[in-house]
């Protein structure tokens, strides 16, 4: 059975991917695409509904992102959210103005028309999450107001004849009390979707597809040892058995005993793995390089040339598999109109040369999934907990956690510090309640005093974050006791660090890694 689809046109909101997540959580497949996606492309995907996301623009701004009015003639239900609502109003001739004050945060939403499919089963008054500076002053002809807040008289409207709805608040944000119910109403009652995005089907369908596509050829897999690459390898292995060749490249930029951990786990899971020691070539190419994007590009290039060299040794290799996931793709895609900037070249997407350069075809079985979906798949496949819940480790490894130039001494300092952090996260039973924790070594030295002696060593940063999908994150609110313990141990046990600081920024505005 073909899966039902909700198409989301992205106007650059920091919450756009949350819309995609929430709808997948209720069992319906979503695609998040640039607002410039052509109508013919949208139609070719046969969506049951279209959502216009929020965005940081004003519809009257010069060059603000607009879409063709033809989208409203498709006879496909449409839901506009925030900027998406203002855009619908603008395109139908409504009037939008700057609000007296920017409205950000909690508001009480009142439903004006209870016989409205979008608000079925929702109390007349509920909490919603607002984040806007423009608001609709006059709705276009043929629309009616279906909800308001005390400071926003037109907080929701719908078309009188067509299936077009819009809300000024963000139903995808958890702080909107009945946000999921609103999305469910849109997806199930209005778009008539069936919840047929099931991860069980995903596993079997993916195995079948890979079997058919690969046939009797061989696949090399860039294996990193994280949950994404384990799940990728496991699925492909189930599909084609020994035609899969996993290659793990030891860049020398890894956590302590990473090679040993990986070969042990692969043995346990019966996965064929080849470990390539490429420490020297990575380090020599990184010498003198300071620019973060340059480091990422170098790592990407080196990875690919190692793969190419190794894959040439295997007969009949036609495919390169990678554990790319959906957030890698969203974050690496540079939007033509710079709505959402290309943040970083994640090494398994933007940092790699194009596959045609390598003469191998790409297989990326997880590229439609978010991280938590990958974990669910891994759980269904029976992967051990220490793989499933292991914190992610970036492909470029320590090269982006050592700010400035990378050298052997700094790698050894960071390795020891990260190992202490890992031990204490486990001692304090914190590892599983945070999503990613690591140390960043700064290229800054500071003065300290140890055993009555002056020290002049590096400062390092402790970064611990909580996140649902790694696209937004908050710093973890850890106890002073834990922070003190980690800091004391690192300073006492690691030669080369004499000062620790804790990073208390969220993503956005920061990112999780520092480079």
- In the list 91, 269, 329, 343, the residue contacting ligand XMP (rule: CB under 6 A) is 343
The least distance separating ligand XMP from the CB of residue 206, rounded to whole angstroms, comes to: 20
Is position 346 an interface residue for ligand XMP (rule: CB under 6 A)?
yes
Nearer to ligand XMP, 88 or 255 (CB): 255
DSSP 8-state code for residue 376: H
Considering only 436, 476, 487, 498, the residue that binds ligand XMP (CB under 6 A) is 436
Catalytic-role residue among 17, 148, 159, 170: 170
Residue 33 annotated to the active site: no
Q: Does 347 bind ligand XMP (CB under 6 A)?
A: yes
Q: How many residues bind ligand XMP (CB under 6 A)?
A: 17
Which lies closer to ligand XMP via its Cβ, residue 16 or residue 348? 348
Q: Choose, from 17, 82, 132, 418, the residue flagged as catalytic.
A: 82
Site for ligand XMP in 255-314 (CB under 6 A): 296
* Residues 360, 220 contacting (CB under 8 angstroms): yes
For residue 1 the two structure tokens come to: 């059975």
Which residues, other chains included, contact 312 with Cβ-Cβ below 8 Å and sequence gap of 6+?
Answer: none
Residues 6 or more apart in contact with residue 480 via CB below 8 angstroms: none
Pairing of strands 453-466, 244-250: unpaired
| CB closer to ligand XMP, 307 vs 470 | 470
Spell out the long-range contacts of 101-105 with Cβ–Cβ below 8 A and sequence spacing 24 or more.
101/151, 102/132, 102/133, 103/130, 103/131, 103/132, 103/133, 103/135, 103/151, 103/152, 104/130, 104/131, 104/132, 105/129, 105/130, 105/131
Q: What is the footprint of ligand XMP within residues 495-514 (CB under 6 A)?
A: 507, 511-513
Nearer to ligand XMP, 79 or 339 (CB): 339
Query: Binding mask 391-420 vs ligand XMP (x if CB under 6 A, - otherwise)?
Result: -x-xxx------------------------
The residues with which 264 forms a beta bridge, in sequence order, are none
**Cβ 510 vs Cβ 475: under 8 Å:** no
What's the closest the beta carbon of residue 288 comes to ligand XMP, in angstroms?
21
3 state DSSP class of 378: helix
DSSP letter string, 262-317: HHHHHHHHT--EEEEE-HHHHHHHHTT---HHHHHHHHHHHHHHHHHHHHHTSTTE
Least separation in angstroms between residue 7's CB and ligand XMP is: 25
Label residue 156 left, alpha or beta by phi (over 0 means left) and psi (-120 to 50 means alpha): beta
Q: Which member of 17, 103, 159, 172 is catalytic?
A: 172
The least distance separating ligand XMP from the CB of residue 221, rounded to whole angstroms, comes to: 14
Alpha-carbon distance 127 to 81, whole Å?
A: 16
Q: Which is nearer to ligand XMP, 147 or 350 (CB)?
A: 350
Q: How far is the CB of 490 from ligand XMP (least distance, A)?
A: 20
Q: 368 catalytic, yes or no?
A: no
The residue (of 123 and 508) whose beta carbon lies closer to ligand XMP is 508
Specify the DSSP class assigned to residue 473.
Answer: B
Among this protein's residues, is 82 annotated catalytic?
yes
Distance in Å, CB of 348 to ligand XMP, minimum: 5
In the complex with ligand XMP, which residue's Cβ is closer, 239 or 400?
Answer: 400
One of 30, 232, 348, 476 touching ligand XMP (CB under 6 A): 348
Q: Please state, in angstroms and rounded to a whole number, the distance separating the CA atoms of residues 126 and 110.
A: 7
Compute the least distance from the CB of residue 396 to ligand XMP, in Å.
5
The distance from CA 87 to its chain's CA centroid, rounded to whole angstroms, is: 26
Distances (CA, A) of 416 to 254, 423, 484, 497: 11, 11, 17, 10
Closer residue to ligand XMP in complex, CB, 177/469: 469
Nearest distance in Å: CB 380, ligand XMP: 22
Q: Which 437-476 residues touch ligand XMP, going by CB under 6 A?
A: 470
> Rounded to the nearest whole angstrom, what is the least distance from the CB of residue 176 to ligand XMP in the complex?
24
Per DSSP, 360 falls in state -
- The β-bridge relationship of strands 78-81 and 49-52 is parallel
d(CA 180, CA 126): 13
222 near ligand XMP, judged by CB under 6 A: no
Interacting stretch for ligand XMP, rule CB under 6 A, among 67-75, 171-179, 286-294, 339-347?
339-347
Which residue is it, tokens 């496949």?
381
Cβ proximity to ligand XMP, 81 vs 352, nearer residue: 352
Touching ligand XMP, residues 40-69 (CB under 6 A): none
Q: How far apart are CA 420 and CA 188, in angstroms?
A: 49
Can you give the binding site for ligand XMP, defined by CB under 6 A?
296, 331, 343-344, 346-348, 392, 394-396, 436, 470, 507, 511-513
Residues with a catalytic annotation lie at 82, 170, 172
């Amino acid at each position: 059975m073909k899966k039902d689809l909700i198409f989301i046109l992205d106007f650059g909101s920091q919450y756009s991917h949350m819309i995609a997540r929430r709808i997948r959580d209720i069992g319906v497949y979503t695609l998040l695409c640039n607002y410039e996606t052509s109508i013919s492309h949208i139609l070719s995907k046969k969506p049951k509904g279209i959502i216009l996301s929020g965005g940081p623009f004003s519809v009257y701004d010069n060059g603000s992102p607009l879409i063709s009015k033809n989208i409203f003639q498709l006879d496909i239900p449409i839901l506009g959210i925030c900027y998406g609502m203002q855009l619908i109003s603008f395109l139908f001739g409504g009037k939008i103005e700057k609000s007296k004050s920017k409205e950000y945060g909690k508001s009480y939403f009142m439903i004006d028309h209870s016989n409205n499919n979008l608000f079925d089963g929702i109390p007349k008054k509920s909490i919603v999450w607002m984040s806007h500076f423009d608001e609709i002053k006059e709705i276009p002809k043929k629309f009616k107001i279906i909800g308001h807040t005390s400071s926003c008289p037109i907080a929701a409207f719908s078309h009188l004849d067509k299936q077009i709805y819009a809300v000024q608040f963000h139903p995808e944000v958890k702080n909107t009390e009945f946000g999921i119910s609103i999305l469910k109403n849109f997806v199930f009652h209005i778009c008539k979707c069936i919840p047929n995005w099931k991860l069980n089907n995903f596993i079997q369908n993916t195995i079948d597809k890979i079997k058919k596509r690969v046939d009797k050829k061989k696949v090399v897999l860039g294996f990193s040892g994280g949950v994404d690459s384990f799940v990728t390898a496991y699925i492909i292995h189930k599909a084609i058995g020994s035609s899969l060749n996993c290659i793990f490249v030891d860049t020398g930029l890894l956590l302590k005993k990473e090679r040993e951990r990986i070969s042990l786990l692969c043995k346990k899971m019966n996965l064929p793995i080849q470990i390539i020691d490429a420490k020297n070539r990575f380090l020599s190419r990184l010498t003198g390089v300071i620019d973060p994007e340059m480091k990422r590009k170098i790592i990407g290039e080196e990875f690919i040339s190692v793969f190419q060299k190794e894959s040439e040794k295997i007969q009949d290799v036609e495919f390169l598999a990678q554990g790319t996931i959906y957030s890698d793709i969203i974050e690496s895609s540079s939007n033509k109109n710079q709505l959402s900037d290309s943040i970083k070249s994640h090494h398994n997407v933007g940092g790699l040369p194009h596959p045609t350069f390598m003469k191998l075809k790409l297989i990326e079985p997880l590229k439609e999934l978010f991280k938590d979906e990958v974990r669910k798949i891994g759980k269904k496949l029976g992967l051990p907990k220490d793989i499933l819940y292991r914190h992610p480790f970036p492909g470029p490894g320590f090269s982006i956690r050592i700010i400035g130039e990378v050298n052997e001494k700094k790698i050894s300092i960071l390795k020891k510090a990260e190992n202490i952090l890992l031990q204490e996260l486990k001692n304090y039973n914190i590892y599983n309640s945070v999503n990613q924790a690591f140390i960043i070594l700064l290229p800054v030295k500071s003065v300290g005093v140890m055993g009555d002696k002056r020290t002049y060593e590096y400062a390092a940063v402790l970064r611990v974050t909580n996140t649902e999908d790694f696209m937004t994150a908050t710093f973890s609110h850890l106890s002073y006791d834990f922070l003190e313990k980690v800091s004391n141990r690192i300073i006492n046990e690691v030669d080369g660090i004499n000062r620790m600081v804790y990073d208390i920024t969220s993503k956005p505005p920061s990112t999780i890694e520092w480079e």
